[in-house]
């Protein structure tokens, strides 16, 4: 991780992660979490264990929240509180609806991305020698809408990183590489598979079943890791890591 200027104006500097760094860190978090109880990372990762993981690292976790005050399609909110662990709330309609389990799992891991990779930014004291600069009170609440939970093409680097972490936790890199590699070997495929092809659909289906994720979450993860080839090079999949270098916009309010 290196520090770069934050063009959103939220901090003076911000962390810039390469995707491989996030993959490595996420797998290390999971390995450490599961070693005492399971010895290794279970696949798929049970939702109850993901809940235990987030509960460990926040002061208050509410999976049945009413987030209507933040607007339509808001599925998760992480509130950063200097001096205390963050508070995470997830829209109640996700946790208690079996048909929305995949969305609940992706929102849970997305919010965990904020908790794990962004909380420390809010712990740094404001002052003249402050590298990051502490955001105003109103900026200490990260509001996450449905369309940015998995991926975002806009340059909200916090959303981009949390979206990547979501995929990296639900589909840990070593297991995913093993699965996709086995698929390629069985079918004699070398290199990325064309998106939209029958083989791409078969690979997405396999990943979806193995890791208990939606087809969209599997597709995005496979694209980011280059197991699938994008049809449209203008999509966010091929944006530079966490949007560095693209024009800035303000984060969603």
- When CB distances to Zn ion are compared, the closest residue is 144
Residue 151 or 159: the one with the smaller Cβ distance to Zn ion is: 159
- Does residue number 169 form part of the binding site for Zn ion (CB under 5 A)? no
What's the CA angle centered on 238, arms 26 and 196, to 5 degrees? 95
Contacts with Zn ion in 106-165 (CB under 5 A)?
144, 159, 162
- Does residue number 65 form part of the binding site for Zn ion (CB under 5 A)? no
CB 140 within 8 A of CB 85: no
- Does residue number 168 form part of the binding site for Zn ion (CB under 5 A)? no
Residues in contact with Zn ion, total (CB under 5 A)? 3
Least Cβ distance, residue 247 to Zn ion (angstroms): 20
Least Cβ distance, residue 130 to Zn ion (angstroms): 24
CB 71 within 8 A of CB 47: no
Within the chain, residue ranges assigned H as helices are 19-38, 47-57, 92-95, 101-118, 157-170, 173-187, 198-211, 215-224
- Does residue number 171 form part of the binding site for Zn ion (CB under 5 A)? no
Q: Is the peptide bond before 44 cis (omega within 30 degrees of 0)?
A: yes
Chain contacts with Zn ion (rule: CB under 5 A): 144, 159, 162
């Amino acid at each position: 991780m290196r520090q770069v200027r934050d063009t959103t104006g939220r901090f003076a500097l911000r962390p810039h992660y390469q995707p491989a760094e996030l993959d490595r860190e996420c797998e290390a978090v999971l390995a450490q979490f599961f070693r005492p109880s399971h010895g290794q990372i279970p696949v798929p990762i049970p939702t109850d264990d993901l809940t235990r993981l987030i509960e460990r690292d926040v002061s208050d976790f509410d999976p049945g929240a009413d987030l209507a005050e933040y607007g339509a399609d808001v599925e998760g909110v992480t509130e950063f509180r200097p001096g205390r662990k963050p508070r995470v709330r997830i829209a109640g309609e996700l946790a208690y609806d079996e048909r929305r389990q995949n969305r609940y799992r992706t929102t849970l891991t997305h919010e965990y991305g904020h908790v794990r990779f962004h909380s420390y930014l809010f712990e740094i004291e404001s002052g003249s020698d402050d590298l990051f600069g502490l955001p105003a009170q109103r900026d200490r609440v990260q509001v996450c809408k449905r369309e940015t939970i998995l991926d975002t093409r806009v340059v909200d680097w916090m959303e981009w990183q949390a979206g990547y972490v979501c995929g990296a936790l639900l589909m840990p890199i070593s297991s995913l590489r093993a699965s996709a590699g086995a698929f390629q070997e069985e079918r004699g495929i070398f290199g990325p598979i064309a998106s939209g092809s029958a083989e791409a659909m078969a690979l997405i289906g396999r990943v979806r079943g193995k890791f208990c994720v939606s087809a969209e979450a599997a597709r995005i993860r496979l694209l980011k890791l280059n197991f699938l080839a994008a049809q449209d090079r203008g999509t966010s999949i091929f944006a530079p890591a966490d949007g560095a270098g693209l024009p800035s916009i303000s984060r969603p309010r």
